[in-house]
Amino acid sequence: MTERDKYERKVGRQWEDVLNLARSQAPLDEVGDEAIQCLTKALNKTGGLPCLEGIFDIVESAAPTTVQLAALERLLKVALDVDLRIENPCLFMTKGDMCKSIASIKAEDSVGDTVTCDSFPLRLPNGATHCGHCTSCILRRLSLRAAGLAPFDNHAKYQHDIFGEYQRLNQRSKFDIHLVRQQVWTFTKIVNDEYPDAAVYSQFPDLYMTSTELSAKLGESSSDITEHLVDLLSAYVAECDQYL
Ligand SMILES: [Zn+2]
C-alpha cells in the first residue's frame, strides 16, 4: 500500500466516523439530508472509504452546490462541534471573470500548460490534449477569450477548433456547441423577461432552494440574491454574445 493509499484510508475512516457520529447524535433533518446523501455517495464512490477530495468532488459535481456546502457545515457542527464556514468568493462570477484573476497574479504563461477537457487524457500521437468540442473545452475557450487570455492558450493542443473549423466538423462534434447555445438562449429569455426574478425560478426551480440558503448564509434579502443570480446570467450571456 502506497503512502497516498494509507493517507486516503485514514482520512476516509475519519469521515466515516463523522458520518456515524452525526447519525447517532442528531436527527437526520437537523443535519440535513443533503449532507447525508453527499457523504453516502462519497462512500459508495470510493468503496466505503471517502477521502476529503472525493467528498468535494461530489459536492462540486452535484447541484445545487450551495445547499450541499451549507449542509456539510451543519454536519461538521453537529458531529464534531466544529464551526467551519465554507466561503465561495467566486459565487457570483462567470468563469471569464474568474480567469481574469490569472492575469492579476501574472500567471498568464501557465494557461497553455493547463487542461480542461471531458475526454482527458486523450493520449493522441499528435500531442493534442483537448478534444476541442466538449462543453468543457468550449467554456474554457469562451472564458479565456472573455478574460483576454486566448493568446496565452496553446491552440495546437486542440484536436478540433470549434471556432475556426466549425463547418468542417461532423455532427457529433457540433453537438455540444448546440447545447451551449441552447442554454445561452434559455438564459437570454430569462434576463430579457419583463420579470426576470420570477422567470429564473420558473425555469430553474432548484435555484429557489439555493437562493433561500444563500440568503440565510450571506445575510442578504432574497430579492438581493435573486438580483445577483440574474446579473450573473446577464454577464454570462454578454460573454457568449461577444465571444462564442
Ligand atoms: Zn474536450
What are the tens digits of pLDDT across the range 13-51?
A: 766 776 676 667 655 555 566 666 666 665 555 554 444
CB distance 235 to 90 below 8 Å: no
Assess whether pLDDT exceeds 90 at residue 54: no
The CA 124 to ligand 1 mean position distance, Å, reads: 13
The CA 170 to ligand 1 mean position distance, Å, reads: 15
57 three-state secondary structure: helix
pLDDT of residue 152: 96
The CA 215 to ligand 1 mean position distance, Å, reads: 35
The CA 138 to ligand 1 mean position distance, Å, reads: 7
The CA 140 to ligand 1 mean position distance, Å, reads: 9
Q: Which residues have CB under 8 Å from 174's CB, separation 6+?
A: 133, 166
Q: Which of 12-21, 104-113, 137-146 has the lowest mean pLDDT?
A: 12-21
The CA 120 to ligand 1 mean position distance, Å, reads: 7
The CA 101 to ligand 1 mean position distance, Å, reads: 23
Length reported for the chain: 244
Q: Domain limits of the chain?
A: 3-80, 95-243
pLDDT greater at residue 209 or residue 33:
209
Q: What is the pTM of this model?
A: 0.77
Alpha helices in the chain (DSSP H): 3-25, 28-31, 33-45, 52-61, 65-80, 95-104, 135-146, 171-191, 196-203, 206-218, 222-243
pLDDT greater at residue 219 or residue 56:
219
pLDDT greater at residue 83 or residue 190:
190
Q: Which residue has the cell 472573455?
A: 146
Question: In degrees, to the nearest 5, what angle opens at C-alpha 196 toward C-alphas 194 and 199?
Answer: 105
Q: Which of 81-85, 90-94, 95-99, 230-234 has the lowest mean pLDDT?
A: 81-85
Q: Comparing C-alpha atoms, which of 182, 98, 140, 152 is closest to residue 131?
A: 140
